[in-house]
Structure 1
């Protein structure tokens, strides 16, 4: 059985959103709000907002940077040339994360600590870790320890990225501990048939912990044994992956589908990605050819797996777990090829690729050459598998490993990206520069810069 979260239609506190670019696609129009809303209502709204965060404008920009998509018209052309400014990602920071999912997580944790509903607290800690990971991956130093204090602190300090990673691991450890306790109340808001028990959610927390430990491997090369340990405690098939399905309606649809419908032909498949996918049986699941271009969206094309109104969103896929394992085994001398084959198989089976095509493709996979060449094979296959649902993680892998090999856009040098390289981060939103300037400037000083080509601590 697929583990599917269904969006609950909540009529409490319907959010009013604008139709300008990068705004409406990043906000859940059914989010509840207010002190009197129950935890049972906040949890599914938090989950919904998290999946919108990971699939909307931040992911779209990451996908363009990673050349899975390319601008064909309008603002997307500027993004392809790395003209990405303070305002282009501000909505994710301001509303998707700090007024949205992370605030909800903080609220849920506070309420369930008081009520003793530990399983729901564990779920909130897990999602808090995920959203913190997303935020620090995109910006580096971010407010955390002083965030969400309301009127008591309207100008929170920024935590260093190193401290944020420590917080992520602590949150996941706390989630695992909570989810392994006895809690007769169960998980409030555990939507329909997601991971069906607290122990299932604990397995998801272990998978996420493996991800965020792996991300620190450049600054802590000795982490790989711990990565393997976490993988061994995570879920073991596609059936265990936490999957969220957007409503098959214009107001609740998958953000990729919504963008294709609302801004037709402003973005296409990146030419280099289309070339990379030539001969891959997943190509027809990702794109179709129209003249010399490959397109990611067509309202009448039901074969495009990630561009349907009700296309899913995966918090972390089983394929990713096996890719993580493959890289860790490569580093520690284990059988990385077997894990790589399992990763690709899981991704193809999930997409519905015919069994014969899977067998042919997987049997042709090899890991040969130097350790770096073998790593390139693993990360390039992971990059292919991430298409459509996890561009941010593909960008994380690129910044950490240098793979897949990308050629920077020829027009990519500008004031925010003076070197012209493939961008390494986003700019903080202008709201922080204007309203939280002292802490904003301290964060920039701590990170050594604030341009798109300034590396983050975890990947230096």
Structure 2
């Protein structure tokens, strides 16, 4: 986090204060803030950074049942055993808070100039990042965070209180985004690499994010989700619809460090050679078996690739012997691996439909749950390169958890189809939904140290070192038993 940098700089400066005046530290009043940029220019980089972070999705792709390490790579002990500590996945914490600092800078500067459009976008993205943090760690610094040198050891807020704060923040974002573009409220179109300045689409994204946050709390006793969701509907913009997957398109180039991050890390470098970690990641046995044998899903050739023997076969998470070498197992398919300049996905439109379908099915919204569910499947099919007719043939079949009428547990059907739709794109969401609902029934890693799946991440060593008392007060001792407040009990 950037406050760590401040602490180091301050400590270094104090070594030299004996021969300096009291104005020494006035060189930079707030090292957490840019001193020569403007909020709209920072926006492009902040959005690109959000979209390019892979750590949380990689973790989710493992724990959510999508990926497994191939036998061609050693290591991955944490994933194979579900046994990890405070050094595991630290990029989730550090990356989110670093990114949040940029968005908070945008809000502070934009609001000072009454630039509501820019401020509203940044508020949506602050909520987006904070939800990742809550869903990974539970209680986190929120009300006392992002204050630079005035709060270098921020207190922690209760996770549900943070969720409530995010709803309030998204309400404020929507109000900002409703303000008409004018000379006093300039359009961010030139710097908005997500929606090109379309503020109605940003409002739809904000509403869908609010719905995600609310639906995550279906296990929370006493939460009046029907009333809260009615407020989201009343906002007026609606939710993300067909073809409205939220993506970042900064203009990727075939140059080192400027390719699509997923492509550069998992596929090829700028010179066209295989990425160093390409053969490390393959489809899990659970994913292949579920799609091929259980769901009999025609998307399989789009989502996965055949092995060198011409069949689809995955690796059981935990196994790593020669039978599971990369050429012998299924890699990612053409719907996932397209080109060096493919967009990075922040939220799929299919997820929006499935969130709505679940809300309707649970009685929190009015509407047709079946039709909305089928619209979600259609969106997922077309996004994968198939047709609406292909989707209709699939959900019109007799397959359980594809056909609505033949699925005895409608919530399981919705979550199962959402899980397929998010394959490799938003793996962290798949892990969160598994922890919330128990669907689909992702198996334990074969080398798991306990008969339990991971429920959370540990606070990272960087936070323990700089904010030890507040970390200790959270009393997190187990990645299995210290569940996030919304998790299935």
TM tier relative to shorter chain: 0.7 to 0.9
SS across alignment from 2:35: coil
Match of 2:415 in 1: 379
Aligned-residue offset at 1:273: 0.1
SS across alignment from 2:379: helix
Match of 2:330 in 1: 295
CA distance in 1, matches of 2:338, 2:482: 33
Match of 2:264 in 1: 258
Instruction: Give the number of aligned pairs.
Output: 412
CA distance in 1, matches of 2:244, 2:281: 33
Q: 1:389 to 1:229 in 2, by over 3 A?
A: farther
Kept after mapping to 1: 8 A contact 2:381/2:390? no
SS across alignment from 2:428: helix
Match of 1:43 in 2: 43
Match of 2:361 in 1: 330
SS across alignment from 1:128: helix
Question: How far does the alpha carbon of each residue in 1:217-252 deviate from its partner, in whole angstroms, 9 at most, with x for none?
Answer: 211553145436636742453343322136143413
SS across alignment from 1:315: strand
Aligned-residue offset at 1:404: 0.7
Kept after mapping to 2: 8 A contact 1:87/1:429? yes
CA distance in 1, matches of 2:344, 2:257: 16
Match of 1:358 in 2: 391
Q: 1:175 to 1:242 in 2, by over 3 A?
A: same
Kept after mapping to 2: 8 A contact 1:146/1:157? yes
Match of 2:447 in 1: 411
Aligned-residue offset at 1:317: 2.3
Aligned with residue 372 of structure 2, among 339, 363, 373: 339
Aligned-residue offset at 1:77: 5.0
CA distance in 2, matches of 1:173, 1:341: 29
Kept after mapping to 2: 8 A contact 1:70/1:76? no
SS across alignment from 2:122: helix
CA distance in 2, matches of 1:392, 1:441: 26
Match of 2:431 in 1: 395
Match of 1:237 in 2: 241
Kept after mapping to 1: 8 A contact 2:194/2:248? no
Kept after mapping to 2: 8 A contact 1:143/1:156? yes
Kept after mapping to 2: 8 A contact 1:228/1:329? no
Match of 1:321 in 2: 352
Match of 2:109 in 1: 111
Q: 1:195 to 1:399 in 2, by over 3 A?
A: farther
Match of 1:422 in 2: 453
Q: 1:307 to 1:440 in 2, by over 3 A?
A: farther
Q: TM-score w.r.t. structure 2 length?
A: 0.78
Kept after mapping to 2: 8 A contact 1:227/1:325? no
The structure 1 segments of at least 4 consecutive aligned residues displaced by more than 4 Å after TM superposition are 368-371
Match of 1:367 in 2: 404
Match of 1:186 in 2: 186
Kept after mapping to 2: 8 A contact 1:70/1:267? yes
SS across alignment from 1:258: helix
Match of 2:74 in 1: 74
CA distance in 2, matches of 1:296, 1:136: 31
Match of 1:27 in 2: none
Q: 1:368 to 1:314 in 2, by over 3 A?
A: same
CA distance in 1, matches of 2:330, 2:77: 15
Worse overlay, 226-235 or 32-41: 226-235
CA distance in 1, matches of 2:372, 2:243: 18
Question: How far does the alpha carbon of each residue in 1:260-314 deviate from its partner, in whole angstroms, 9 at most, with x for none?
Answer: 22212112100110111213222122211214544335xxx7x243464223233
CA distance in 2, matches of 1:227, 1:270: 36
5+ residue gaps, structure 1, are 1-31, 414-418
5+ residue gaps, structure 2, are 1-31, 267-274, 314-327
Kept after mapping to 2: 8 A contact 1:123/1:187? no
CA distance in 2, matches of 1:74, 1:308: 28
CA distance in 2, matches of 1:354, 1:457: 39
Q: 1:275 to 1:370 in 2, by over 3 A?
A: closer
- Which residues in structure 2 correspond to 1:8-23 (within 5 Å)? none
> Please, what is the CA RMSD of the aligned residues?
2.4
Worse overlay, 123-132 or 342-351: 342-351
Kept after mapping to 2: 8 A contact 1:43/1:108? yes
